[in-house]
A = this chain, B = another copy of it.
Amino acid sequence: MSETKLIYFFGDGKAEGDASMKELLGGKGANLAEMTNLGIPVPPGFTIATEVCDMFYKNNRQYPEGLNKELKDTLSKLEALMGKKLGDPKDPLLVSVRSGAAVSMPGMMDTILNLGMNDEAVEGLSKITGNPRFAWDAYRRFIQMFSNVALGMDINVFEDILEDMREKKGVENDNELSAEDLKELVGLYKIAFKGNQNEDFPQDPVIQLQAAIDAVFGSWNNPKAIKYRDINGIKALKGTAVNVQSMVFGNFGDDSGTGVCFSRDPSTGENYFYGEYLMNAQGEDVVAGIRTPAKLSELADQDEKIYGQLVDIKDKLETHYRDMQDMEFTIQQGNLFILQTRNGKRTGASAVKVAVDMAKEGLITKEEAMFRVDADQLDQLFHPMIAPKVKKTLKPLAKGLNASPGAATGKIVFTADEAELWVERGDTKVMLVRKETSPDDIGGMHVAQGILTSTGGMTSHAAVVARGMGRPCVAGCKDVVIAGKTMKVDGKEFKEGDWITIDGTTGEVFEGQVETIAPEMSEELTDFLSWADDIRLADEREGLEQKGFLVRTNADQPEDAVLARSLGAEGIGLCRTEHMFFDAGKLEHFQQMIVADTTEDRKKALSKILDLQKADFKGIFKAMSGLPVTVRLLDPPLHEFVPQTDDDIAKIAKMAGITAEALSEKIDALHEHNPMLGHRGCRLGVTYPEMYDMQVEAIITAAVEVEAEGDEVHPEIMIPLVGTWQELSILRANAEAVIAKVFDKTKKKVDYKIGTMIEIPRAALTADEVAEHADFFSFGTNDLTQMTFGFSRDDAGAFLPEYVKQGILEADPTAKLDQTGVGKLVSIAAELGRGVKSDLKLGICGEHGGEPSSIDFCYRNNLNYVSCSPFRVPIARHAAAQAVLNNK
């Protein structure tokens, strides 16, 4: 006999294992043991430890010596407890066999039920239950599962036979087949088995059991499981355990039944025992929906005793696991069994309410409450959604990327101009449908209810801008084919003015007008977020002067700033200025500036924008009174601003006093092969200093004026796309000269900072040099990710989905910061920067600033704040609190 214990028994109120032994018993085994120890009536059984799997592979697929004996002994113990024997022709013990490692792992063997069935046992079961149909059905299911799951036979072999039988009998559903039919089916299944395996279907339950155990251990090293472990970096595990558990049946008669229940309402979170059950039924019947299950409260009337037991168990399990439980139970001939308990899945509203209630009840701490809600759940609460009941009835037309959350319904328009026109004339509910959007479309995007694009990824222009605006957006919806003023999806044609509905949270597109429900800020949600704030604001990190981990917002317009502040933003981390140039009254002057030949002409055109831009900044500064506002100077290449249509070209040419042809030539000259890697950002500032000078003048004059009007202002001027310290040094000097002039002229001063975006790999690598000239760094991880990976988000659609599918990338790195590669640059830059300037302010303003795992990374790298779009601010506040707790 082996020295090591290999098998752990559970049953009759005590188990040899417990929840702490996941490593050895797997998650499932440890949990069954735990429940047994709690006195919960769990069908007895045993777990073959993961160490057996380890030994099996280390010893050239040989089981450890003592296993056989230990298995025999434990099986006897189980039989004794159950008063039944495996293969007993009169009253057979049936068991289930399941795999279960310490972490859940797709690719491994799933479940075999009813093991122990054979030609004799089926007869015994028929008699003892008085239900031959039940017995034969159990047998044929066992043959099917065993052959497929344990021996790898094609499931379709059996499905086809079943199908033929249904046809022959002229029935539609399996449950219309009689006992005789099923018996015939078992005969056919056995023939098919022999045809495939060259031997009879095994009748000896011990052989069945051994084969099932072999299958579980064998599945540990099948290619899918290996690949899964490889990709997810799972290395330390010993192997899988095997759980063998006695079967119970809820379809033994009218004193039997089955159900599922939740310790609190999974939709609303209310503390109410919620569930459904069916008497004389199996678990799958509840799910299949052929019979309508009863509400759990009815069980109280029907069987007070059982209901009482169930309530006790529910209370015990919730208290024990300290979370809302989702339980499956079976009543077999008046005896209650719990087959499973797990933390219940829940809606966002429920998650928040359960967490806050439980913390208030003292069941969990406020800190624990933070981990009871995830970002997606929280996000649901800040966007309109399609009412869940309505949604159930809908079939999506198409599915794209869930680019910006929330549901929206509107009439289709195909251009941004149309969108604006329709809204102006009172047709306010429009849905902007485009192949892709460009900065030109901002106005139309702003007035639209939502945006649907047929190309582009999660960080395409449409997606980024929509998230910034809080506009629902489905992007890259390839099934949508747009041609002129029609859109074809799935064979249907839609015209301008037709209604469609999008769900930006899921990426779905629906036909017609669908009712959406508005988000609401519950009392629990307010509590929840204020707890999160308490945690993150009280935090102190070693070597960092600033207390707390702050959340700013990316906002370009006063109304966005107001919204973000109401959602908890502690400043603006990124105010893009390019959108300002697209406003009527500014674009024309800016276009003239672009096509001007001399510095003088450029200055003249810019001077016309100065006051208008100053007014924009004043609105933002007022909205953020008392808080810092980081303004990024102009970033995109100039060709994004040039006139596109012949009319516009003619108009601008006339204003500039040149011919339309000459203007067209100038526009052609601005064309770039790789605009992302072209003449933009601070490169414009170096070659056309007057442009940045104008912007700095507008920012600082606005700041001075707003302070004079009684608000406190902290402008932070951010120079984009810096790759060398020299660029920053030159542009900082230029900016400071302009600022000095403004102070001189107004006889007033304001507090200001000048810093840079770290978005070029070289800037990160030489951050010590760059930091000498910067008051702050803001990590622009959108561009940094694209340049570090060497792909453009606009083009990566051709291979990125395949990369994620093949597991080359765990996630789209434009959505979730790649901590290994891009993150390394962030770490390098943070360290080098702080190395020369310990009080260097660090933040992030890429899209990752609103993504929880990235926020955690930012915390660990000692960033002062994260910045994200207004609607992500609450999610970031929560994730920031989680980060603080995670790293304690």
Contact = CB atoms under 8 A, between A and B. Distances in A.
Given A674-B677, A676-B673, A761-B761, A790 B783 contact: yes
- Of the candidates A678, A786, A794, A824, the one having the most CB atoms from chain B within 10 angstroms of its own CB is A678
Nearest to A802: B687
A46 to B, nearest CB: 40
Given A723-B790, A789-B760, A808-B724, A799 B677 contact: no
A528 B237 CA distance: 62
Contacts of A861: none
Interface stretch (A14-22, A445-453, A815-823): A815-823
B795 A679 contact: yes
A273 interface: no
A683 B727 CA distance: 34
A765 interface: yes
Which 3 residue pairs spanning A and B have beta carbons closest together? A677-B792, A762-B821, A674-B792
A673 B672 CA distance: 9
Interface string A790-826: 1110111011001100111100000000101110110
Contacts of A799: 679, 683, 686-687
Contacts of A221: none
A788 B802 contact: no
A262 B791 CA distance: 57
A794 B675 CA distance: 10
Given A730-B808, A790-B723, A795 B677 contact: yes
B761 A825 contact: yes
Contacts of A809: 724, 726
A721 interface: yes
A165 B850 CA distance: 77
B673 A675 contact: yes
B791 A677 contact: yes
Nearest to A638: B798
A363 to B, nearest CB: 43
Given A676-B677, A678-B795, A679-B799, A808 B686 contact: yes
A531 to B, nearest CB: 38
B679 A676 contact: no
A787 interface: yes
Contact of A806 (B676, B730, B794, B798): B730
Interface residues of A, number: 50
Contacts of A807: 726
Contacts of A672: 792, 794-795, 798
A554 to B, nearest CB: 21
A268 interface: no
Contacts of A789: 723, 760-762
A790 B825 contact: no
24 contacts: A231-B726, A672-B795, A672-B798, A674-B676, A674-B677, A677-B790, A678-B791, A678-B792, A679-B795, A683-B803, A686-B802, A687-B802, A724-B808, A724-B809, A724-B821, A726-B807, A760-B789, A761-B788, A761-B821, A765-B824, A765-B825, A766-B821, A783-B790, A787-B790
B765 A673 contact: no
- Tallying the copies of this chain within the complex gives 2
B673 A790 contact: no
Given A686-B799, A765-B820, 18 more contacts: A674-B675, A674-B794, A677-B790, A677-B792, A679-B799, A683-B798, A686-B802, A686-B803, A686-B806, A721-B790, A723-B821, A730-B806, A760-B788, A761-B761, A761-B788, A761-B821, A761-B825, A762-B818
A435 to B, nearest CB: 12
Interface in A264-284: none
A791 B678 CA distance: 6
A766 B674 contact: no
B766 A824 contact: yes
A673 to B, nearest CB: 4
Interface in A5-41: none
Interface string A148-186: 000000000000000000000000000000000000000
B674 A798 contact: no
Given A674-B675, A806-B686, A822 B790 contact: no
Nearest to A678: B795
Contacts of A798: 672, 678-679, 683, 687
A409 to B, nearest CB: 31
Interface in A476-533: none
A188 to B, nearest CB: 37
A449 to B, nearest CB: 28
A790 B761 contact: yes
A727 B792 CA distance: 18
Interface in A659-708: 672-679, 683, 686-687
Nearest to A722: B790
B790 A674 contact: no
Contacts of A675: 673-674, 795
- Of the candidates A721, A788, A824, the one having the most CB atoms from chain B within 10 angstroms of its own CB is A788
A789 B763 CA distance: 8
